[in-house]
Chains A and B, each alone.
Chain A
Amino acid sequence: MTASTSSLPAAARAPRSPWRARLTAWRVPLSILALCLLPWLLPSQALAVNVLIYGLLAVGYNLLFGYTGLLSFGHAAFFGAGAYVTGIAIGQFGLPWFAAMLLGVAFGGALAFLVGLLSIRTRGIYFSMVTLALSQLVYYTALQASSWTGGENGLRGFTVSTINVFGWAIDILDPVKKYYVLMVFAAAALWFVSRVLNSPFGAVIEAVRENETRARACGYDVERTKLLSFTLSGVIGALAGTLFALHLAIVPLDILSIHTSGMVVMMTLLGGAGSFFGPFVGALAFLLMEDVVSLWTSHWQIVVGTVFILFVLFLPKGIWGTALAALAGRGGR
């Protein structure tokens, strides 16, 4: 049992250096500050909003992978469910944007609960395979149900141009305004995730990641713990999906594909699984690489894949995790 989890990145222990402790205490405001500055630091608005959305997806994924130690290969399903349900609710049922988002998150969370229920009892690679298979099922369902989802052409026709917040109309066709509207949701999600990590449950998922047998002997129902973590992770993923739908105003079928699931694994690992802000760093690194490398070769995936493998082999804590460890090392001396 220990053997299957011990290869995972060592994460989120009690910060034993003052630097690290301070950073942990301020991680939510600091993360939000970084996200606020992002559009002004990056070469394009489009990149910033993608880092925001995929970073949030990876934050949700990190809760499951980095903190609970479960390698899901099916998170595209929850991301996609959030996006599709939001789009369908607006475009076909005429729901207001906020209600549509709530519906998307609820649906994605329910789907995660279901997928969790079916997959949580399997272990290791089998767990990954079951989540992958179930997410493929969702993909083909969306492909077939084309009268709802638009099938291969993707879902269109639900553009939200202005949103009303307590009588204040915001034009979200303006990319800057749109970014900050979406960021409010990401910020709320970060605050929520931080709260979960600081909660008693946050200690339980780390215990489960570290040693399932011992956690069970201590009196924790490991399966229920994993299911709750899986569902929470899916809820955050679905929220990222609803933001994606609002942002693009189309939902391509590809969002549900295995590429999306693989991408979120890579982003989380590149940034640093089990570190709070790592997933955003990983999303940025991944998307930057994609942008830059695809300029000079259409085989950018080979390059990104190679970099990914090098990271797994030589920098298992990822960019952010390694930076934090270095900081802690200096602070400790």
Chain B
Amino acid sequence: MTTPLLAVENVGRRFGGFVALEGVTAAFEPNRVTAIIGPNGAGKSTFFNVLSGVMPPSTGSIRFKGRDITGTPQHRFAHLGIARSYQITNIFPELSVHENVRVAAQALRTRYDIWCNRAAMTELDDKADAALAAVGLAGRRDATAKFLAHGQQRALEIAVALVADPELLLLDEPTAGMGPEETKDMVGLLERLAKDRTILLVEHKMKMILGLSDRILVLHHGRLIADGSPQHIQTDPEVRRVYLGQNDGYA
């Protein structure tokens, strides 16, 4: 057996007395797409926050490429090779689309250099342009990010994550708030990314998940209640029970 890219062991997170995540154990192989589903408040975003260093887990440990990264500060994660998008669009609103991605690319190269001329670092421009092309935003390169349509802003956020060429990509509801047309574009983008990347994906749109993912984890009240192939999850009685009457799930 190869070492998994990411392995979480008994991970939990509490907020005061409230347990948002408890006893989650799972390992993730490279080049797979894993969907994480569960009703609202199940702890999906909390799980991502723990995996991306936004907050440390209250219990348990996280290993990335065999190395224990539990408690690593958030700003180290991009350098480790873990990048993410947020459930609520999280970009640099006043910067241009190109600058959004360029500054993300710059982080891996230089951070405290107050002396040289950043415009001379043309390879950052190329990287940024390539990432924008990958998400279909090449045409909006010079627009101010806040003036993009919602779907384009979400794509921009993915470009910002992609430009670091992360080994692990965490996408928290990339189609949140999108209409059918925008969702279709995003699904197309995700399909392209899925070919050669390791992705953890939180989503509600079941049809999309079934088409995209190799594996599905189901969270409920902070606990992992199912973990398996899409076929397996569809027939799991526990999952059916949790989603019954909820109906935002299998829609």
Contact = CB atoms under 8 A, between A and B. Distances in A.
B98 to A, nearest CB: 8
Interface in A9-46: 10-11, 13-14, 16
B99 A13 contact: yes
Contact of B118 (A16, A203, A217, A221): A203
B85 to A, nearest CB: 9
A201 B114 contact: yes
Interface residues of B, number: 43
A214 B111 contact: no
B93 A200 contact: no
B243 interface: no
A224 B90 CA distance: 21
Contacts of B102: 203
Contact of A13 (B84, B95, B119): B95
A128 B107 CA distance: 28
Contacts of A219: 75-79, 104, 107-108, 111, 164
Interface stretch (A85-93, A204-212, A249-257, A298-306): A204-212
A201 B114 CA distance: 5
B75 A221 contact: yes
Contacts of A204: 103, 106-107, 111-112
Interface in B62-83: 73-79, 83
B121 A218 contact: no
B144 interface: yes
A11 B142 CA distance: 16
B96 A13 contact: yes
A288 interface: no
A1 B98 CA distance: 22
Interface residues of A, number: 34
A117 B118 CA distance: 27
Contacts of B251: none
Nearest to A204: B111
Contact of B114 (A10, A13, A199, A217): A199
A218 B114 contact: no
B122 interface: no
Given A219-B79, A219-B107, A224-B112, A213 B90 contact: yes
A163 interface: no
15 contacts: A14-B95, A14-B96, A16-B96, A200-B106, A203-B102, A203-B106, A206-B95, A206-B103, A216-B74, A217-B74, A217-B78, A218-B78, A219-B75, A219-B79, A219-B111
Given A201-B111, A218-B78, 12 more contacts: A13-B99, A199-B114, A201-B113, A203-B103, A203-B106, A204-B103, A211-B92, A211-B93, A213-B86, A217-B90, A218-B107, A221-B75
